[in-house]
Amino acid sequence: MAKLLFPNGDALGRRIRYASPPSDGSPVEMEIVGIVSDHRQQPRMGEPDPRLYVPFAQGYSPDVLVTARFATENREGAAKGVPVLRKALRTFDPDLPILRLIPFADLVEGTLISGWSGAEP
């Protein structure tokens, strides 16, 4: 999105505003404080769409996705990291509703997209 909105310059520090004011009273104008590389939100999508990340406190959404990378290429190793991640999230907020934690390989294979039940394993 930074390349799209500011093709001839640096987007950092620039300000953008929503075309329509948010209905929840969030600020209409925001300063760009960071830029992430292109990526797809869903593994099987085509080219990535331009995206805007808004601080949670300024743009609450009940749907939050957290991605964590483990230092392993191995599915079993990643699966062993899931309880560690769960414990870290519980330390951060014991009341945090965690609907599902799965290894990325499972996500790529479509278990989240086509077979997700919402039940905690």
In this structure, are residues 118 and 99 in contact, taking their beta carbons and an 8 Å threshold? yes
Q: Please check the confidence at residue 104 and state whether its pLDDT lies above 50.
A: yes
pLDDT at 86 over 70: yes
Query: What is the reported pTM?
Result: 0.46
d(CA 59, CA 29): 12
pLDDT digits (tens, 9 = 90+) for 3-49: 888 998 899 999 888 777 777 777 778 888 888 877 666 555 567 77
* CA-closest candidate to residue 96, choices 36, 56, 40: 56
Give Cα 4 to chain centroid, integer Å: 20
